[in-house]
Structure 1
Amino acid sequence: MPLNTEPAIARPDDFYEALIDAHRDLTAEQSAMVNARLILLLANHVGDMEVLREALARARAGV
């Protein structure tokens, strides 16, 4: 299964708002922990190491 980079969230603004809300009133360290936990949860949901490696490579290439 290739990495899907096409828009797939039906209501992206709602997701963005929920993401911002999840970080509200957190310290930078707590926010980083939330991001790390979210990444691990979503990686577990994806479950395909090839897709995860591609996502990691694409994310790093954008830095």
Structure 2
Amino acid sequence: MDKSSHKCIRNSEDLISQLPDEILISILSPLKMKEAIRTSVLSHRWEWLWSFTDTLDFDDPDTMQDIDV
């Protein structure tokens, strides 16, 4: 990739965030809960998308390890 095309990519908008919520949620769905939640820091648009996934796995030991019961 030459310098001019690299500069164009850097200045372009975030195209993935322009996708409809349904598609973004389907991208997040296969992720483990902790990984999906980490995407919330990407932008305000992504902040709560993880909560709409239908495959949240509360039985994953990595997810629940920090919670004292």
Give your verdict on TM over 0.5: no
Normalising by structure 2, what TM-score? 0.31
* TM-score of the aligned structures, taking structure 1 as reference length: 0.33
Q: Which has the higher contact order (CA 8 A, sep 6+)?
A: 1
Task: Answer 1 or 2: which has greater helix percent.
Answer: 1
Between Structure 1 and Structure 2, whose CA radius of gyration is higher?
2
